[in-house]
Chain A
Amino acid sequence: AQRVTQPEKLLSVFKGAPVELKCNYSYSGSPELFWYVQYSRQRLQLLLRHISRESIKGFTADLNKGETSFHLKKPFAQEEDSAMYYCALRDNYGQNFVFGPGTRLSVLP
């Protein structure tokens, strides 16, 4: 069965510190993986996707098929990064999305 886990419910870091939000998945085929972000009172929006290998707002994520992980990283956290972050997997066969439980990132001044 497809599953996405995010072990941390809450992650607090100081401004300027590195941050890593963990994501692990279980999927039998080749997954498409995404990170979504939800800022306070805003809609859920895409942050980045593994297929494009891009850096958005200083965040990067590398798909590690051996460890079935897709951790989100940023070298220097900013206060405006405080938000809820969800890791998601797209099932290429059924085309629905499976989301993790989310990690709330709090960047302290």
Chain B
Amino acid sequence: DVKVTQSSRYLVKRTGEKVFLECVQDMDHENMFWYRQDPGLGLRLIYFSYDVKMKEKGDIPEGYSVSREKKERFSLILESASTNQTSMYLCASGTGKTYVMNTEAFFGQGTRLTVV
């Protein structure tokens, strides 16, 4: 069973704080993702990593950064939290291979972040 684990289920932070969201996967997946989930907007990709220390911006990277120092761990950083970053954050991992059977993304349970 693939396990993608996010460090916190709920977080409440103050405006201006630096916030770290952690994600760990145990399937040796090459790819890891951070999404933001908002009603009516679906899942929007913040950042994507296809290897250790490698990252690519997604659709909404502004105000966020990421870190991938080890293959199994992908961190999302809010440099200075703002109220418009209140949302559900989803981490996912997936294989970097193509034309294999299990190419889907596997998701963590989500972190509900509230910025006050």
B107–A44 contact, CB under 8 A?
Answer: yes
- Which residues of chain A (78-93) have a CB below 8 Å from chain B? 86, 88, 90, 92
**Residue A13 lies at the interface, judged by CB distance under 8 Å to chain B:** no
B43–A99 contact, CB under 8 A?
Answer: yes
Interface residues of chain A: helix, strand, loop or mixed (majority): mixed
Task: State the interface size on chain A (CB cutoff 8 A).
Answer: 24
Task: Indicate with 1 or 0, residue by residue over B87-106, a CB within 8 angstroms of chain A CB atoms.
Answer: 00010101010100101111
**Distance of A89 Cα from B31 Cα, bound (Å):** 15
B50 CB contacts on chain A under 8 angstroms: 95
Interface residues of chain B: helix, strand, loop or mixed (majority): strand
B109–A43 contact, CB under 8 A?
Answer: yes
Closest-by-CB residue of A relative to B98 is A92
**Distance of A46 Cα from B104 Cα, bound (Å):** 7
A101/B45 contact (C-beta < 8 A), A32-B103, A49-B104 known? no
- Which residues of chain B (11-66) have a CB below 8 Å from chain A? 31, 33, 35, 40-45, 48, 50, 56, 58
A6 CB contacts on chain B under 8 angstroms: 42
Task: State the interface size on chain B (CB cutoff 8 A).
Answer: 27
A86/B43 contact (C-beta < 8 A), A44-B90, A95-B94, A95-B96 known? yes
What are the 5 tightest A-B residue pairs by CB atom distance, in nearest-first order? A101-B42, A99-B43, A44-B107, A43-B109, A46-B104
Q: Given A43-B109, A86-B43, A97-B92, list of 11 further CB < 8 A pairs?
A: A9-B40, A43-B110, A44-B43, A44-B90, A49-B103, A49-B104, A51-B103, A88-B105, A92-B98, A94-B48, A99-B43
9 example contacts (A-B, Cβ-Cβ < 8 A) are as follows A6-B42, A34-B104, A43-B110, A44-B107, A88-B105, A90-B104, A96-B58, A99-B43, A101-B42
Chain B contacts to A: CB under 8 angstroms = 31, 33, 35, 40-45, 48, 50, 56, 58, 90, 92, 94, 96, 98, 101, 103-110
Chain A contacts to B: CB under 8 angstroms = 6, 9, 32, 34, 43-46, 49, 51-52, 86, 88, 90, 92, 94-102
